[in-house]
Amino acid sequence: MRTQPSTARLRRIGRVLRELREERGHSLLAAGRHLERSASSLSLIESGKQWLRARDLNYIFEHYDVEPALRRDLLTLSAQEHTRGWWDGFRKDVSAEAIDHASLEYASSAMDFFETHHIPGLLQTEDYARGVIASGSTDPRMGARFLAFRMARQQVLTKPHPARLRIVLEESILHRIHGGAAVIRPQCRRLLEVSELPHVIVQILPLACAVDPMINGPFAALTVGDPALLRLVHIDSMTRRWILDDDEVVTDHQKVFDGLCTAALPPQETQKLIVRLGSEI
């Protein structure tokens, strides 16, 4: 059976299967004999590099005597893994990690974004996004496709049953004049429009705040499913993206985000600040 790029859902399924195997005291070799699989095949599954059909997963569940609720959750994640979406049209243009992130966003019931460098992609206008993309080391020939991908991600804001979205922005973002007033003023209006959506909360962490946003850096926390099937933290750097699904790590970041919400301006005060800063540009 062929391997495929590892995804957050496959890694979650694989980690649970490994924990179940270890709880029962089975080595990879012993478990493989029981499941009629090679140890190498089982290792690929447990490392999130091999997708299983529902019947194969159920076969493993039977041998591990997995409780019904956990079976249901893992089968749902497995089914989501092969659910087609708008992102399929970009598989040749963007990284597998970006495709995975877009798929997870679309399936999320709640998303929290903390940003210190620029407006999050889900809230960017096309002109602002074009400037952000161009400022990176992007091949100009791919810039148009990257821009189209970023704009397509924004479907999550208006799809049926959208996720609850909370965004905390460091105020300095609005002082960086990407493209001048002709770009920043429409971007400020876009922030105000999105902040009026009933499922969206936008807050600004003011410059005068005692909390240093650089201590933690930007991150996004996603909850997939309702009730939750998967909780993740996404952290981006200049060269790579980390997708963390350890429960303790996710909980720690959630506590940090809740603290940032407390320290940030309330939504109405945030809207007033955005209006003021937009008019001063």
In this predicted model, what pLDDT tens digit does every residue of 212-245 receive, in sequence order?
Answer: 655 668 999 999 998 899 999 999 766 667 888 8
Is 159 within a domain? yes
Last residue of one domain, picked from the residues 62, 81, 100: 81
Average pLDDT over residues 85-108: 93
Last residue of one domain, picked from the residues 81, 99, 132: 81
Q: Is the pLDDT of residue 210 over 80?
A: no
Query: Are 104 and 222 in a shared domain?
Result: yes
- Contact between 257 and 174 under an 8 Å Cβ cutoff? The reply is no
Query: Are 26 and 95 in a shared domain?
Result: no
Into how many domains does the chain fold? 2
Q: Specify the pLDDT at position 178.
A: 76
Q: Is the pLDDT of residue 123 over 90?
A: yes
- Answer with the residue of higher pLDDT: 236 or 128: 128
Average pLDDT over residues 85-93: 94
Query: Which token pair is 257?
Result: 């985000």
Is 184 within a domain? yes
pLDDT band for 265, please (50, 70, 90 cuts): very high
Query: Are 21 and 50 in a shared domain?
Result: yes
Q: Specify the pLDDT at position 5.
A: 76
Query: Are 113 and 214 in a shared domain?
Result: yes
Instruction: Write the burial class of residue 157 (CB in 10 Å: 0-12 exposed, 13-18 middle, 19+ buried).
Output: middle
Query: Are 132 and 214 in a shared domain?
Result: yes
Dihedral over Cα of 253, 257, 258, 259: its sign: positive
Domain carrying residue 65 = 8-81
Is 1 within a domain? no
Q: Are strands 164-170 and 219-224 parallel, antiparallel or unpaired?
A: unpaired
Query: Are 270 and 199 in a shared domain?
Result: yes
